Structure 1
Amino acid sequence: MESIATPFVARPHGKAQAEPSAPIQYTITRSVEVNPEVLRRHRVIAGQVPGPYVDAYKVLRTKILQILREHGWNAFAVTSPNPHAGKTVAAINLSLSLALDISQTVLLVDANLRHPSVHTAFGLTPREGLADYLLDDVPIERLLINPKGINRFVILPGSRPLPDSAELLASPKMARLVDELKHRYPSRIVVFDLPHLTTADALAFAPYVDAALLVLEAGRTTQSQLVEALGHLNTTPLLGTVLNKAEPTSGS
């Protein structure tokens, strides 16, 4: 189960706090059936029974919401200092937990253009995704997916992997998209699942978001990796850290 580190650091941004909007009606966005067993197998909280695993994300959600609302932020990235830290699962589960709060909707963007994998956790096989918007001008409205039965939650999948991912993430077109996603719906929180920070992708994209959340892997993320990651994010406010894959302590 995940354990949550508590030192949160954020710097003022100056944006006004968004007001809640009416519940979203999925008239254009595709709603797609998802298999609960697939969710369970990929450790997605929508397929889990209530317990410490689900509760950990609710605690994290509460802390994240407090910071977002304090600073008027609504877009952040989830990344990690090293590969295989479980950041994608953390991004998915935090997004789902945020969507349980009735005051906003949540858009989860698979911005890992090298190895997009958000859709696999839901058992989805999208024909098109973010890559098709960036390369072929496919409208965003055609790409969004709502896993049926999960309210206030939409995915922008990544579809096919791209070799020139860092250049695309740093492109003016991507910057315009982030700005559009942040401002189209005032009650929306946008979560970007990024590659780990040893890639140029995450470094190129980080300045576009309000803040970042770091996922650390218990027993594998080293102090030097964490220090290096914080250096890479020195111009991006840090929401905090999540310690992933931690063994439960006795009596917990």
Structure 2
Amino acid sequence: MAHGSPAVSRRPSFSQEATVPSPSPAPTQPKQGGTAKLLIVEVGQKPNILTRPAGPVKGISGESLSLHCLSEGSPRPRTAWTLPGGSVLERPQLGRKHVLLENGTLVIRDASIHDRGDYVCRAHNDAGESSVTVPVVIVAYAPRITIRPPQAIHTMPGAAVQLHCAALGIPKPEISWELPDHSVLSTDNLGRASGSQLLHPSGTLLIQNPRPSDSGTYKCTAKNHLGTRRIVHKVGSWTELSHGARLIKGKQLCSCF
């Protein structure tokens, strides 16, 4: 540069400029005493009913019947049953006719033919619902007497006699005997009559020490709410012939009834 010449400031060209890196931002330090938040996301699962009958559920008239409806899902499903008549049971309850348990099982007490039909179980939660239809058939029939004694029985004094009377039916039939004096013994109320008769739970009537006064008509009745069957037996007692009595061929020995 010549002496006395003015000073000239030269800016560097683009290619001559130096690149200065920008400083990285300092990490943010958590404030003293701050709390961390944890967010949990729960994915809902639609209910799945685990118990599905392969066919109609058969119940016995007069007995209790359980209909199962076990389910899984998230949140835990709630269970409701729709009865054949249209009424709905939505929460665990204890009724005279129906009991809804915590696990979804519906109990029908003292089932009858009026309880037959389609029962619908619905399991539902916030993710959806699932249902299953359970057809119910109630088995019942009127009594049928299967074992009976002869229509007429002759006894000897002191020799015990058994009168059998067995019956089938659903519900199980009540068997009763009407004695010659019109008193009644029943399998629902077992006990000894005023005479020598005793009734066993099977329906067999035992005449323990027959006397002439035990002769007469005995009526066995088998009964349930679907019907009644009755059979009649006649019991006579033999007596020893008095001294000097004779038997004549072809003649009647005694008239027992």
Fold agreement, TM-score > 0.5? no
Which protein has the larger Cα radius of gyration, Structure 1 or Structure 2?
2
Classify the TM-score, shorter chain. under 0.3
Normalising by structure 2, we get a TM-score of 0.20
More helix by share: 1
RCO higher in structure (CA 8 A, sep ≥6): 1
